[in-house]
Amino acid sequence: MALLDVKNLSISFGGLRAVDNFNIKIEQGQLYGLIGPNGAGKTTVFNLLTGVYKPTEGIITLDGTNITGKKTIDINKAGIARTFQNIRLFKDLSVLDNVKAGLHNNYHYGTLSGILRLPSYRKTEKLMDEKALELLKVFELDKEASLLAANLPYGKQRKLEIARALATNPKLLLLDEPAAGMNPNETLELMETIRFVRDHFQMTILLIEHDMKLVSGICEELTVLNFGKVLTQGKTSDVLNDPQVITAYLGE
């Protein structure tokens, strides 16, 4: 059984079919790419998978559970986390507190305990601090734990966003153009980070990306989307050598 199984996913906005009959299957542990030109519908697919939009048609199944049309918070609790093309951090919070924000799915204390700073609150906060620091060490951000997120360099902000997403303990991680705005050296480092995340956390990853070097270097399979429809799917080498993809959509 595929970890993510999407069948006939569609959505319309004012009569425009933004995503039309989208199908995809992603296996546990796979590093999968979703590519296509601007306006192809890639981010709309992510918004459908994460509950930002409700589909007009279709079914989304995660690890055997139908999550179609559920609220974003419930989909996150079910096991899908994401990052965004435009980095979304709590920039006025510390690096540590950004990761702790992602941990609240799994750590709880009562309102009264929090207000009065009771022992149960202090114990939970200590556990969250420890777990957040563990994640930050994985991304070599532990020395910046006390800094404001806004003060991190761009590449490290990307890493922090991924660390915060992983703090929710997802089954599937969605990365929306993580290399956007990065220079070549940062992109190479990001490729290593994504590989490490997949291997270290045994994480299944679905990646939207325009950078073909990044896609061809790390993704095992690809789906090409255009005008909301799947153009082709398959092994990365086969897709990237498809003449219609090269000529019409990749410009190479």
Q: For the segment 92-111, what is each residue's pLDDT rounded down to a tens digit? A: 999 999 999 998 767 565 55
The answer to whether residue 233 scores a pLDDT higher than 90 is yes
Residue 247 has what pLDDT?
59
E-strand stretches of 150-210 = 172-176, 204-208
Whether 151 is in a domain gets the answer no
Q: How far apart are CA 95 and CA 150, in angstroms?
A: 9
Q: How far apart are CA 96 and CA 118, in angstroms?
A: 22
Residue-range definition of the domain harbouring residue 38: 4-79+170-250
Q: How far apart are CA 178 and CA 42, in angstroms?
A: 13
Query: Regarding predicted confidence, which is higher, 191 or 121?
Result: 191
pLDDT tens readout for residues 159-198: 999 999 999 999 999 999 999 888 888 888 989 999 999 9
Whether 221 is in a domain gets the answer yes
Residue 241 has what pLDDT?
84
Residue 242 has what pLDDT?
79
Whether 54 is in a domain gets the answer yes
Q: Name the token pair of 177.
A: 């153009």
- pLDDT over 90 for what percent of the chain? 69
Structural domains counted in the chain: 1
CA 62 to mean position of chain CA atoms: 14
Whether 175 is in a domain gets the answer yes
Residue 55 has what pLDDT?
97
The answer to whether residue 252 scores a pLDDT higher than 50 is no
Band (pLDDT 50/70/90 cuts) for residue 10 is very high
The answer to whether residue 35 scores a pLDDT higher than 60 is yes
Name which of 20-24, 107-111, 127-131 the model is least confident about.
107-111
The answer to whether residue 246 scores a pLDDT higher than 70 is no
Whether 18 is in a domain gets the answer yes
Q: Is 64 helix (H, G, I), strand (E, B) or coil?
A: coil
Q: How far apart are CA 146 and CA 54, in angstroms?
A: 38
Q: How far apart are CA 140 and CA 173, in angstroms?
A: 20
The CATH number for 33's domain is 3.40.50.300
Residue 113 has what pLDDT?
56
Which residue type does 197 have?
V
Whether 85 is in a domain gets the answer no
The answer to whether residue 249 scores a pLDDT higher than 50 is yes
The answer to whether residue 13 scores a pLDDT higher than 50 is yes
Over residues 74-92, mean pLDDT: 95
Whether 245 is in a domain gets the answer yes
Q: Name the token pair of 167.
A: 């703090």
Nearest-CA neighbor of 161 among 201, 131, 194, 185? 194
Query: Regarding predicted confidence, which is higher, 245 or 66?
Result: 66
Whether 88 is in a domain gets the answer no
Over residues 67-90, mean pLDDT: 95
Contact 133, 98 (CB under 8 A): no
